[in-house]
Amino acid sequence: VHTEAVQAALAKHKERKMAVPMPSKRRSLVVQTSMDAYTPPDTSSGSEDEGSVQGDSQGTPTSSQGSINMEHWISQAIHGSTTSTTSSSSTQSGGSGAAHRLADVMAQTHIENHSAPPDVTTYTSEHSMQVERPQGSTTSRTAPKYGNAELMETGDGVPVSSRVSAKIQQLVNTLKRPKRPPLREFFVDDFEELLEVQQPDPNQPKPEGAQMLATRGEQLGVVTNWPPSLEAALQRWGTISPKAPCLTTMDTNGKPLYILTYGKLWTRSMKVAYNILHKLGTKQEPMVRPGDRVALVFPNNDPAAFMVAFYGCLLAEVVPVPIEVPLTRKDAGSQQIGFLLGSCGVTVALTSDACHKGLPKSPTGEIPQFKGWPKLLWFVTESKHLSKPPRDWFPHIKDANNDTAYIEYKTCKDGSVLGVTVTRIALLTHCQALTQACGYTEAETIVNVLDFKKDVGLWHGILTSVMNMMHVISIPYSLMKVNPLSWIQKVCQYKAKVACVKSRDMHWALVAHRDQRDVNLSSLRMLIVADGANPWSISSCDAFLNVFQSKGLRQEVICPCASSPEALTVAIRRCGYGRLGNHSGRGVLSMHGLTYGVIRVDSEEKLSVLTVQDVGLVMPGAIMCSVKPDGIPQLCRTDEIGELCVCAVATGTSYYGLSGMTKNTFEVFPMTSSGAPISEYPFIRTGLLGFVGPGGLVFVVGKMDGLMVVSGRRHNADDIVATALAVEPMKFVYRGRIAVFSVTVLHDERIVIVAEQRPDSTEEDSFQWMSRVLQAIDSIHQVGVYCLALVPANTLPKTPLGGIHLSETKQLFLEGSLHPCNVLMCPHTCVTNLPKPRQKQPEIGPASVMVGNLVSGKRIAQASGRDLGQIEDNDQARKFLFLSEVLQWRAQTTPDHLLYTLLNCRGTIANSLTCVQLHKRAEKIAVMLMERGHLQDGDHVALVYPPGIDLIAAFYGCLYAGCVPITVRPPHPQNIATTLPTVKMIVEVSRSACLMTTQLICKLLRSREAAAAVDVRTWPLILDTDDLPKKRPAQIYKPSNPDTLAYLDFSVSTTGMLAGVKMSHAATSAFCRSIKLQCELYPSREVAICLDPYCGLGFVLWCLCSVYSGHQSILIPPSELETNPALWLLAVSQYKVRDTFCSYSVMELCTKGLGSQTESLKARGLDLSRVRTCVVVAEERPRIALTQSFSKLFKDLGLHPRAVSTSFGCRVNLAICLQGTSGPDPTTVYVDMRALRHDRVRLVERGSPHSLPLMESGKILPGVRIIIANPETKGPLGDSHLGEIWVHSAHNASGYFTIYGDESLQSDHFNSRLSFGDTQTIWARTGYLGFLRRTELTDANGERHDALYVVGALDEAMELRGMRYHPIDIETSVIRAHKSVTECAVFTWTNLLVVVVELDGSEQEALDLVPLVTNVVLEEHYLIVGVVVVVDIGVIPINSRGEKQRMHLRDGFLADQLDPIYVAYNM
């Protein structure tokens, strides 16, 4: 029934087009070797008329489809036409012919197969479906090498010709499909981030029936010869008919292994009872007393030993706790069983010889303590190991009473194990009720396939059988695996009257059944189906009857029953009723109604229905009713689904040792609508959901444990499994190997399906199967699946009898250790409760803002450093306008004062410069420029030097010659292909007339490798400064005007833009003075610098500050730290330095590289206690986690945590903030991340949800003024508002230097005015968002201190759903999501969020990351990730400042150059 519905649903989907891009996988991850399994459709994403790069575009065919021209498809998709060529059978991005053929074949299959109702179990269809599959032409093309961003045009939405963008386009088109109905109401999550609350659907069905009445089972008729207790029955049969067979066990060949007679059972049980009571411990202190609990650990193929031990316990009046054999020390769920044993106070475990030998042993032969288990004494119950009871000893046989008889374990939804206690009277009454309901008579033969340790197998095969002296043929699970027909053969062989099976046993018998001639099932009067309550049992029953009716099986023989550990047997169909007419019932219920807990017999909508069969009548002597599953236990109406509750003697009485949980489950007093209890006796919750239908027939539609409430509607895990299985089940996944559970993400449950994939299915097939499962579940259950994962065969955690261990699987999924081989996530379709996208309000007029801020007491956000004019200092260098003059003055007055010391990787001095040495060297370089270079004043000179002294000398040489220097990072000799083009570009863009460098680099620039990367013929004149002329220049150039250009500063921003700024002489001197004052630099000081000296503050500190202030700079090239990570800190300690500067990459190197070496460094005498300031030079939001871990790590070496701070600079002003020596310590605040997205700053307590720590970026430098302005309207903002940081200072750069002279861009960035308020001042826009906050601290000059907090670059910020997100926040969340994520970068493409994660682990873990990344971004940022890309370590490009180059990464991704391990496209 279900299969038909699913196929029809899928056919319906064919009209509704849906195209899911298939994930791309690295070859090493793909098990299959077939070519088409992993070639993703490789296409170019422009249509032909746009002049596509690649004429021959190829679409790799997808199974069941021909290949079509992808470009045509994309262009059609873009132009929104829906012609038949683009409709495809399910989720493929391909064509149609084959798809329609397939659909026709399917339709015929169903028409011709009508002789037997098609269902889950008939897999043999008359048509074999084979579809021609044309081969797609495959051409290879080499992509330009990754990292060369200039060669790719990405622009805004102009895609690179690549297969990735085609897939993304496909994804975008798919996501444009209409969503679920819009929802109007919201609840406020803490404040205005509104999460939608699912409103009840006004059209939802509501129960309309009358209130139900409790249903009574028939009277439990006490028969005269029923024994007063089960032990009494055993004694009776053991003495009257000792030769009668009690139990026959089978070996794996299906041969009878052993026959236990009633006589042997009686004598052996007595022996066990005697030994338990008298031979454990001492006479005075026996280990086990009556009423104590003992564990029974027996394997599934030894029911005889179990039975003897069980009855031995009953005779000794101790309480048996049957459990599974612990196979390994960390078996799935075995730890929880250990907790159960511990809580039951078990100290002894009874076991068989064979089992005891098989348990894991320590080298001394001891059985180790299993994880979570109490210490146990293992006691073997085989007769030969036991002593004979004395003649006069006899067990005490009483009538059944309220003592505990046994404890049955039950595994809950969350994996915890509880013990249900069953009293002796309940045990006996249950046996009587089963005997009456099943009509058992003496000496009947019964075949049992079920687990005899618990549930139906225990009740029929061990307990009730003894009460009636029946003969049980026990079939072990191991035999069923080898021969699924074995139970049917035994029924025939023994002419058994009754068989106890599960629907899977019927199913496998059908699959294995090949017209056996000699099968005759006419002896069966009852076939008990233990899991008759499962939704798929009905199809197994029907199919089984269908095939075996011809073999003597009668319809009325099939007796489904429902049971639960708490209520024992809840209901069972009586045998033989079939003759009286149709006493078995079926309900065809509307799935939609069921999700609201309402019973609706479905007539019109044939697709989404659940067909259920009854599980018979209420047990004799019991009363049943159904109550509302949540809230007050009110009786349900007649057309309402509720939890079935039973009131009877024959039930469990409590969860052992858990009185709180017991009260709720074992004592329910159902109420009528008026609030009166319906009975004075308590009822027991069965954990089953269902209703009592006409004629008192009980119907079960699901279990409480499997209930998933998704946006207010209830879905049953079993139903979803059944639907998934009905989609061509046997081809891709194993029948019993599907797990369905829900995980809570963003305030709602989300459905996850995990299935084991057959090893022979290709990527393509599995992906198609997954897409079809999603559609089927969507059609039939009207619910979206959040995540569908396939794992390799046999990798899911198993329960002892081979089922899937659900809670363990869920645990693995959530911790990211499931290792799926395929994942499909559909957050776009499932997550319907995201906050509404933010609507930007029209801006309020300027005047009202001013008034508003005044009224609310907000001051306009502005702040400034100390006023340069006010500071009296004996600064000799101030007399000079130009740095070149300062150097000449120092060379005359203090010629031998040391200015620079360069260290090598061993920490020894490689080179040093005094004032006069630097002056003389600069003179020689000036001569060289004039004579060999014939340069005029004002010409630009590129300085391509490694970090060191040569660079400094060359810089001052340029100033002496009147040239304008540009410092350029030299190409990396191991990576010329990617680093040299950047050098070439800067040289060209800066219009350099000459290039100065060392001899070594000179050779490199003209080498063969260089010629392969760039055109070496177009280099300007290259001068090598290793051999300098010996003469001095006639005169040293002196600029005419301080506003002329001193040098150019080029840098690549994080967005991949190359920007050069002009620094005038006046700005350069002002810059040096500001730093001198802030850091209190004098000639007697020493400063250690571990920075790249090519741009920004790093260059100024390395080359300029020492000459201006006269302090000694100890220069440590950051590249040397790669060989010796401790170099910088050892130098700081050795030279007793008080002030040091580094970059984030240096700090990270130290934190990662020296983390474990602090002890040995301490031993080497490393002491950081003198450090006053350790400043990280940066152009980004302070990386608080890194600075904090650095401080913590080196605290033991004397580093004061207050010393670590950051600076902030940008292109328009190379240093705005710098901590400096005086002034308050840097402060940290916690802001609400959700408010930030709305450009608001809301301070919260540390540790509150959604809080983000921000550290102040250092003190504002002297002479710098800052204001926070609205980047759109350019109006000033109030305190604590997020806006763009604008800066006014004497050391602002004077403009961009670009080859295009893009004036409009420049004028805006460097000369902006506020739109109201102070409209006179000229500000430079930094391009960074931040806010000012007045703190409680006081400045050096006694004012309240204003702290500047930088949040992030405007260019980097992503606008999604109308809100502003900073990539770093999302990245931080993602890095926390799984231990194997080392780095992460995010960017957007066509409004999709793309997350790239670097995986540090095996490639098998790659797919684990997809759900975790999606979950964490949803939970913390309310965003749905569009694409998850898993790459190797080191793929995310990072610039010299340690900042991620997200735009380069984006270009590389779109041009398909990342070689990702896995790319997942979320639906």
Reported confidence tier of residue 284, pLDDT bands at 50, 70, 90: confident
Give the tens place of pLDDT for each residue, 785-817. 999 999 998 889 887 777 788 988 999 999 999
Reference 204, options 710, 593, 522; nearest CA is 593
Give the tens place of pLDDT for each residue, 1274-1286. 888 887 789 999 9
Contacts of 1300 (CB under 8 A, 6+ apart): none
pLDDT surpassing 60 at residue 964: yes
Reported confidence tier of residue 78, pLDDT bands at 50, 70, 90: very low
Structure tokens at 1276: 């000033």
Check residue 383 and report its DSSP letter: G
Report the DSSP beta bridge partners of residue 1243: 1231
pLDDT surpassing 90 at residue 196: no
Looking at residue 850, what is its pLDDT? 59
Give the tens place of pLDDT for each residue, 578-587. 433 345 778 8
SS3 838: coil
Q: How far apart are CA 276 and CA 294, in angstroms?
A: 10
Q: Output Rg (C-alpha) for the chain, integer angstroms.
A: 40
Q: How far apart are CA 1023 and CA 996, in angstroms?
A: 5
Residue 734, H or E segment: strand 733-745
Max alpha carbon distance in the chain (Å)? Answer: 134
Reported confidence tier of residue 334, pLDDT bands at 50, 70, 90: confident
Give ∠ CA 735-740-746 in degrees, rounded to 5. 160
Helices (H), 345-483: 353-358, 424-438, 455-458, 465-467, 477-482
Helix axes 1406-1421, 1367-1377, angle to 10 degrees: 130
**Among the ranges 113-122, 401-410, 838-847, 870-879, which has the highest mean pLDDT value?**
401-410
Check residue 973 and report its DSSP letter: G
Structure tokens at 774: 């999603």
> Taking the CB of residue 1304, how many other CB atoms lie within 10 A of it?
7
- Are the CB atoms for 854 and 783 separated by under 8 Å? no
Side-chain-facing half-sphere of 709: CA atoms under 13 Å: 10
Higher pLDDT, 114 or 18: 18
Residue with tokens 């505990």: 404
Beta-strand relationship, 1112-1115 and 898-903: parallel
Looking at residue 22, what is its pLDDT? 81
E strand segments, 263-380: 293-297, 319-323, 348-351, 377-380
SS3 1173: strand
Looking at residue 497, what is its pLDDT? 95
Looking at residue 825, what is its pLDDT? 92
SS3 1140: strand
Polymer length of the chain: 1467
Q: What are the φ/ψ torsions at residue 385 (nearest 5 degrees)?
A: -90, -5
**Percentage of the chain exceeding pLDDT 90:** 45
- Are the CB atoms for 570 and 563 separated by under 8 Å? yes
3-state secondary structure 1414-1432: HHHHHHHHCCCEEEEEEEC
- Are the CB atoms for 1395 and 18 separated by under 8 Å? no
Phi-psi domain of 1283 (left: phi exceeds 0; alpha: psi -120 through 50; beta: other) = beta
SS3 1359: strand
Quick one: how far is CA 1113 from the chain centroid? 48
Looking at residue 246, what is its pLDDT? 96
Looking at residue 1301, what is its pLDDT? 45
Higher pLDDT, 1319 or 959: 959
Report the DSSP beta bridge partners of residue 1352: 1329
Structure tokens at 101: 């053929």
Looking at residue 1305, what is its pLDDT? 56
Q: How far apart are CA 1452 and CA 1434, in angstroms?
A: 13
Give the mean model confidence (pLDDT) for residues 125-149: 38
Give the mean model confidence (pLDDT) for residues 200-213: 83
**Percentage of the chain exceeding pLDDT 70:** 83
In sequence order, what DSSP letters do the residues of 505-534 get, joined into one string? HHHHHHHH----TT---TT-SEEEETTTTS
Quick one: how far is CA 69 from the chain centroid? 36
Looking at residue 330, what is its pLDDT? 54
Give the mean model confidence (pLDDT) for residues 227-236: 94
Structure tokens at 811: 């645990």
Average pLDDT over all residues of the chain: 82
Structure tokens at 418: 């509880």
Residue 1109, H or E segment: helix 1105-1109
Structure tokens at 166: 């085609």
pLDDT surpassing 60 at residue 513: yes
Looking at residue 1281, what is its pLDDT? 83
For residue 262, what are the CA distances in angstroms to 198, 246, 486, 1069?
Answer: 62, 5, 25, 107
Contacts of 1152 (CB under 8 A, 6+ apart): none
Looking at residue 222, what is its pLDDT? 72
Give the tens place of pLDDT for each residue, 1332-1386. 988 877 776 667 788 899 999 988 899 998 889 999 999 999 999 999 999 999 9
Structure tokens at 1342: 């006694």
E strand segments, 214-369: 215-216, 245-250, 256-261, 293-297, 319-323, 348-351
Structure tokens at 1037: 């150039």
Q: What are the φ/ψ torsions at residue 552 (nearest 5 degrees)?
A: 90, 5
Looking at residue 63, what is its pLDDT? 34
For residue 660, what are the CA distances in angstroms to 654, 664, 665, 667, 1300?
Answer: 10, 7, 9, 11, 78
Amino acid sitting at position 1155: G
pTM: 0.81
Helices (H), 603-669: 659-666
Least confident of 165-179, 182-196, 467-481, 539-553: 182-196
Give the mean model confidence (pLDDT) for residues 495-511: 91
pLDDT surpassing 90 at residue 874: no
Amino acid sitting at position 393: W
Q: How far apart are CA 1287 and CA 1256, in angstroms?
A: 17
Give the mean model confidence (pLDDT) for residues 589-609: 78
- Are the CB atoms for 648 and 590 separated by under 8 Å? no
Give the tens place of pLDDT for each residue, 605-651. 566 788 888 999 999 999 999 999 888 999 999 999 999 999 999 99
Reference 457, options 354, 372, 563; nearest CA is 563
pLDDT surpassing 60 at residue 1139: yes
Buried b (16+ CB within 10 A) or exposed e, 130-166: eeeeeebeeeeeeeeebbbbeebebeeeebbbbbbbb
Helices (H), 79-220: 97-112, 163-175
Structure tokens at 131: 């579809």
Q: How far apart are CA 1435 and CA 1357, in angstroms?
A: 22
Q: How far apart are CA 416 and CA 412, in angstroms?
A: 5
Quick one: how far is CA 519 from the chain centroid? 52
Looking at residue 167, what is its pLDDT? 74
Give the tens place of pLDDT for each residue, 1017-1066. 888 998 988 888 888 888 888 888 888 999 999 987 766 678 888 999 99
Q: What are the φ/ψ torsions at residue 33 (nearest 5 degrees)?
A: -110, -5
Looking at residue 819, what is its pLDDT? 93
Tell me whether residue 550 is exposed, middle or buried, using C-beta atoms within 10 angstroms of its C-beta: 0 to 12, 13 to 18, 19 or more. exposed
Residue 738, H or E segment: strand 733-745
